Structure 1
Amino acid sequence: MAADSLPRETEVLVIGAGPGGYVAAIRAAQSGADVTLVEKDAYGGTCLNVGCIPSKALITATDIAHDAEDADRMGISADIDVDFGAMTEWKDGVVSQLTGGVEKLCEANGVTLVDGTASFTSENEVTVDRDGTRKGAIEFDNAIVATGSRPVELTGFSFDGQHVLSSTHALALDSLPEELVVIGAGYIGMELSTVFAKLGVDVTVVEMRDQILPGYEQDVARVVSRRAESLGADFRFGERAEGWTPITSGVRVTTESDDDERFEYDADSVVVAVGREPVTDTLELSAAGVEMDENGFVQTDDQTRTSTEGIFAVGDVAGEPLLAHKASREGEVATEVIAGNAATVSTRAVPAAVFTDPEIATVGMTEATAEEAGLNPVVGQLPMRASGRALTLDETDGFVRVVADEETGTIVGAQLVCPDASELVAEFALAIETDATLTDIATTVHTHPTLTEAAMEAAANAHGAAIHTPNR
């Protein structure tokens, strides 16, 4: 339970109880520091409450329903009845269990919890407001800012929770719409589009660029795009969302192409998923002299230090990549630095996953970025149609690709688009972190039949020694 009264002083003040903040608070307390954690909304932050966890719960549920309904080739016929209300209740139960667990873990480690909004008044003090009332001030020796990010509002599309939805609103719907327009084909837009398409919603995705998942290699994105189209998603590339108007049945969204051609799409609601922005508006960072970049993210070094001595920033508020696991690692680094230990944030082996169908996961360099870095890359790849386990799962779209330095064989990156890519990428992340080589993975005995064999075969393929696919 949060403290009724504020501590006047604390050694380590953490602002924000998301994956960066609560991990930092617990780790600092474990090192023997007196720690106070201030949270204005819900413990667990965006990830646990309105992001990673609820979205993955819905993805799992919809995958089960869709797979059961689409198993005719396996000799299975099923008449699936989806109770969306019950599905949402189950999803909310998962969220409640995890967020409650965060609070208990903090308390068990001796962290003082404070409900409220913290604002800096100087380099070593914040005030805390609760329900619009000033509750007091807290002096600190060190502070860790971990306030996260929120969905960006598109001009002309202010979130109202009814006609115009953020990702948070979309994950909290209590009934299924018949039609949705989704603006943005990035990872959030694609995950939501896949969920709703599998539930039978008529989904139109508007993307101003020429492919889904901008920033990912085209052959990776193409696999997911084809699958989404087979689910019924309609992609409108090269169109900018200009505005919307209410109609009897919901909304009418207007878009415009580069050659000034205009289009209109009717739907129950429109979901805007065009990115995220840092949450700093209540922090009064200028009072502490903390500098931000042109996009509003707090500037930090590789030890999570800000421009002000004794103030650190971790997670989304400190900029890309906006990943929960990156936030947690930064939280640990911040507490290590505060404790006087040597620790830095390494970004060379931070994996990223998109929970589409199939999943995408990447880590390290692509072939192109390896060349830009001055390496002579060698690439190995296994198509999933050559994987026995993928065949038994009836999931043969996609591939596993590994990138290495040709001279040393050291693995520098991997790109996966396949079932369970989010799990399989860990082998490559570990390989990069430990400077493992293609030979290390190719000669490691992998269980058969498993999807992990694809990593072994891709590594062997880079050497021209793969057994189950033609070698390059």
Structure 2
Amino acid sequence: MNSYDVAIIGSGPGGYVAAIRCAQLGMKTAIIEKYATLGGTCLNVGCIPSKALLDSSHHYEDAIKHFEEHGIEIPGDIKVNLEKMIARKQSVVDQTTGGIDFLMKKNNIDVYQGLGRFKDATHIMISGEESIEIEAKNTIIATGSKPSSLPFIKLDKERIVTSTEALKLKEIPKHLIVIGGGAIGLELGQVYKRLGAEVSVIEFMDRVIPTMDAGLSKELNKVLKKQKFKINTSHKVKSVERVGDEVIVKADDKKGNEVEFKGDYCLVSVGRRPYTDGLNAEAAGVTLTERGQIEVNDQLQTSAKNIYAIGDVVKGAMLAHKAEEEGVFVAETLAGQKPHIDYNLIPGVVYTWPEVAAVGKTEEQLKEADVAYKTGSFPMRALGRSRASMDLDGFVKILADKATDEILGVHMIGARAADMIAEAVVAMEYRASAEDISRMSHAHPTYTEAIKEAALAATGDRALHI
């Protein structure tokens, strides 16, 4: 029987990063993955393939809507080859997952393909082509999450689909109904909207991206409506039925009136649930919460002292980079180091166009906590860089402590917001004030000038270009 210092169950961003860091710190490490490829949801059916399709569809939209204005003339009709677009997406996935294989070999990590199941707290059975038992002094559970649904919805994975199936449709929908106005639904909705589908979004809450700052929700809602999305907030879905090639969704609006939606595809994107199926956690003494998450303490340690859990399977935002930070945290804890994670400083991003990104507290959270704050915002359309690229929608908003000027939250919507948010994370990690940012030189012309201008506005209505 092979014995290890640490075994990781699950090879998503949390799991494979934890494995690499454990190996770097001198631990004999194994990783167990039930699927044929490493990388988990993110690399195979999540972050990476969705961004590949978002980029491809963005190119197409630019070609049909914006090239002429840029002085680029293409003779003949511009057509979408969806099969080729999906194939390119898959090649990106294959390259990325292949890169994880390389990293496992480079770091001398043993990879087991099969379902990992606890026999007890130190022994794991792996059911693959053959059953194998390994021994692990410590184990990290990184089994991730699966798409959630609603109890009355029967997912046929053909017309009524989750994000997994939406990444490989055989045709462009005529009318895609999206249940859920969060990041996943809006991103995939935008892919198919660009390619010619009619898209209707049905959201239970009173706004899209409801977990983010209300100002971002309002701006994104305005932009999506301009892009001809049909946004239906405060709607409670009560039935989803397929009749032949048609999907009929019935919902009650905020007044209690029944509204019917008919489309040829329905994407159910109502969140994700922790995935612990087949883990046999009880045999190892690992406790699950009522929500199906694995219960952990501040050290990410489960009720079994030698077993840890990270990523989507524990509390907190279901984000790949959060899982990575937790993977490194546990590896360094096992090595006797004293790492830390500030969950307030883990950014959130929605990869629509314009992109939406945020870190720290929202205005709603500061009001609820009765924190005195000041705010400064700056519109993207006031930037020379935005006018040059024709990306005029959006803004940057900085929230700072009224007394100390320390930055408490940064919220942005605009071109390249996903990349720009890192500046805000760095600033907040070092407890910068709005004035600190306002006095830093930002290259001109860039989108990040909006961060400086918002900081100037927060320090006393000192924005220069508005």
Change (3 A) 1:467 1:245: closer
Please, which of 192, 205, 212 is the counterpart of residue 208 of structure 2? 212
Deviation for aligned residue 1:258: 4.6
Q: Deviations over 1:343-400 (max 9, x none)?
A: 1222121111001121110001123323444532121111112111111111111100
Cα deviation 1:238-282 (Å, max 9, x = unaligned):
322222333243322222335442232222121100010001021
Whether the 8 Å CA contact 2:213–2:364 is kept in 1: the answer is no
1:10 equivalent among 4, 21, 38: 4
How far apart in 2 are the matches of 1:318 and 1:411? Answer: 28
The amino acid across from 2:288 in the alignment is M
Please list, as runs of the form range in 1=range in 2, the aligned pairs for 1:366-385 lying within 5 A after superposition.
366-385=362-381
The whole-number CA distance in structure 1 between the counterparts of 2:463 and 2:276 is 53
Question: Residues 182 and 193 of structure 1 are in contact (CA less than 8 Å); yes or no, is this contact kept in structure 2?
Answer: yes
Where do 4+ consecutive residues of structure 1 move more than 6 Å?
A: none
CA contact (8 A) 2:376 2:461 kept: no
| Aligned residue type for 1:189 | G
CA distance in 2, matches of 1:370, 1:255: 33
- The answer for the alignment partner of 2:21 in structure 1 is 27
Does residue 1:446 correspond to 2:454, yes or no?
A: no
Q: What SS does the corresponding residue of 2:391 show, helix, strand or coil? A: coil
Deviations 1:389-426 (A, max 9, x none): 11111111110011111222221210001111111110
**Post-superposition CA distance 1:306-365 (Å, at most 9, x none):** 121011111111122111011001000000011111112221211110011211100011
The residue identity in structure 1 corresponding to 2:252 is: E
Which range is displaced more, 143-152 or 230-239?
230-239
Q: Which residue of 2 aligns with 1:117?
A: 115
Match of 1:189 in 2: 185
Q: Does 1:250 align with 2:246?
A: yes
Higher alpha-carbon deviation: 238-247 or 436-445: 238-247
Work out the CA distance in 2 between the residues paired with 1:162 and 1:371.
45
Aligned to 2:38: 43
Counterparts of 1:287 and 1:298, CA distance in 2: 14
- Tell me what 1:293 maps to: 289
The residue type paired with residue 9 of structure 1 is S
From 314, 324, 327, give the equivalent of 2:323: 327
- 5+ unaligned residues in a row in structure 2: which ranges? none
- Corresponding residue number in structure 1 for 2:197: 201
Q: 2: CA distance between counterparts of 1:230 and 1:192?
A: 17
Could you tell me which residue of structure 1 aligns to residue 237 of structure 2? 241
Q: Give the Å deviation of 1:96.
A: 0.3
SS at match of 2:60: helix
* Residue range with higher mean Cα deviation, 265-274 or 235-244: 235-244
8 Å CA contact 1:291, 1:299 repeated in 2? yes
Mapped to 2, the partners of 1:172 and 1:12 lie a distance apart of 36
Gaps of 5+ in 1: 1-6
Any idea what SS the aligned residue of 2:13 has?
A: coil
Question: SS state of the match for residue 341, structure 1?
Answer: coil
- CA deviations on 1:198-223 (whole Å, 9 max, x unpaired) are 11101111112222111223321122
Secondary structure in 2 aligned to 1:348?
helix
Cα distance in 2 between the residues matched to 1:10 and 1:359: 43
Q: 1:395 aligns with which of 385, 391, 394?
A: 391
Match of 1:104 among 102, 105, 115: 102
**1:178 lines up with 2:174 in the alignment:** yes
The 1:278–1:150 alpha-carbon spacing in structure 2 relative to 1, beyond 3 Å, is: same
Question: Aligned runs of 1:130-209 on 2, under 5 Å?
Answer: 130=128, 135-209=131-205
Q: TM-score, normalised by structure 2?
A: 0.95
Identical columns (%) = 37
Matched, 1:63 2:61: no
| TM-score w.r.t. length of structure 1 | 0.94
Deviates more, 1:366-375 or 1:406-415: 366-375
Q: Give CA-to-partner distance per residue, 1:10-62, whole Å, 9 cap, x none.
A: 11010000000000001101111110100001301100000000001111111
Name the SS of the counterpart of 2:200 in structure 1: strand
Q: Does 1:351 align with 2:347?
A: yes
Q: Deviations over 1:120-177 (max 9, x none)?
A: 121211111125x6x1322211000000001002222232211210000001213212
Counterpart contact for 1:302–1:344, Cα < 8 Å = no
CA distance in 1, matches of 2:446, 2:298: 37
